[in-house]
Structure 1
């Protein structure tokens, strides 16, 4: 089975749409999904402006919990990851839905508890893994370092089995297989095309 890696940030509605899309597409096309994290707050932080993505000076994983908006969500995501890839995927989907559909606060413990319940995770284990903050921060730091080495600058960024990688903003949420699969195939065809298309951007009025 071929693996598609998705870099996401729970702050980003485009990352939510990308995850919903690939969640529908993956079983249709026999793909395995690997979730990784990229921080828009780290990437766009004033102290990191002009620096390579691989060499930030302001690092999210080193910040206090009460600071950045996304830190607690990333740590919770890593706590969910301890229960396996499938559990992590279900948790990520539910956390995105709570944030962007239900407008729930992202860094609130109750939001995490509800995401765990909806995703069918073991709550006691999740809370124990979340309390292991040192290791969760180390895991987050590794994800962000890998994103930096790849040159990720936005979410969602997909890394295909071929190694091709691209950031792609979906303007609409697409969850119907008959629509999602052709959209995914169009996206991957652009990446594989010999024209080496790097940017397609519509004008804004």
Structure 2
């Protein structure tokens, strides 16, 4: 099975849009390509996730791709996930159960946050999402509790801080070529988290081309 490496942060709205578009194009093309998720942990670069910045990006990207499923955070502020390292670790740990299982957990966690306002920082929420996705939550809990995937996640960070990865999202193909945040241009009106992003589609065919190249 061919794979596209996906380097991203779970709370990155640009990654949410790009992954949605890849999954839709994959279904339309009927190609056998799995998305192999790797962690680009924005919080290890910038500190805790800022809700104002995430909210404003969600508004901008939601207008660009409504089908991806965006909602503003609707739960109490204290429940907002300022960190998603444990959730990212769970996506790595799920690879023990299979590449497709890991991909589906990543997708379900993004949906849980962006569409359902669930605090995916919390261990029990992560395990609940795993159960709903059909993943063995008992095995996943054991992996989280002994930390076996933590070093793998941090090895990703060691790559993320180099020039090899530009940011979230970045897609790396089997031939070694890669592309960062394809198909979208964006500029900020005002400062980050106080202003708002103005985004535009620039290349509607990128996902289909990427999948064909990978397969």
Native 8 Å contact 1:158 1:165 kept in 2: yes
How has the CA–CA distance of structure 1 residues 7 and 90 changed in structure 2, closer, same or farther, with 3 Å as cutoff? same
CA-to-aligned-CA distance 1:122-149 (integer Å, 9 cap, x gap) = 111111111012x222111112223334
Give the RMSD, CA atoms, in angstroms.
2.9
Runs of 4+ in structure 1 deviating by more than 4 angstroms, as ranges, are 186-189
Native 8 Å contact 1:9 1:40 kept in 2: yes
Q: Could you tell me which runs of 5 or more consecutive residues in structure 2 were left unpaired when the two chains were aligned.
A: 48-80, 185-202
Native 8 Å contact 1:73 1:107 kept in 2: yes
Q: Could you tell me which runs of 5 or more consecutive residues in structure 1 were left unpaired when the two chains were aligned.
A: 46-66, 172-179, 190-205
CA-to-aligned-CA distance 1:159-178 (integer Å, 9 cap, x gap) = 1233221211666xxxxxxx
**Alignment equivalent of 2:112, drawn from 98, 101, 107:** 98
Is 2:73 the counterpart of 1:73? no
**Alignment equivalent of 1:184, drawn from 207, 211, 214:** 207
Instruction: State the distance in 1 between where 2:205 and 2:178 align.
Output: 19
Instruction: State the distance in 1 between where 2:111 and 2:7 align.
Output: 17
TM-score by length of 1: 0.66
Instruction: State the distance in 1 between where 2:23 and 2:146 align.
Output: 29
Q: Which structure 2 residues correspond to residues 23-172 of structure 1 after superposition, within 5 A?
A: 23-26=23-26, 28=29, 29-44=31-46, 69-133=83-147, 135-149=148-162, 151-168=164-181
Q: Which has the higher strand share?
A: 2
| C-alpha deviation, 1:9, in angstroms | 0.8
Equivalent pairs counted in the alignment come to 160
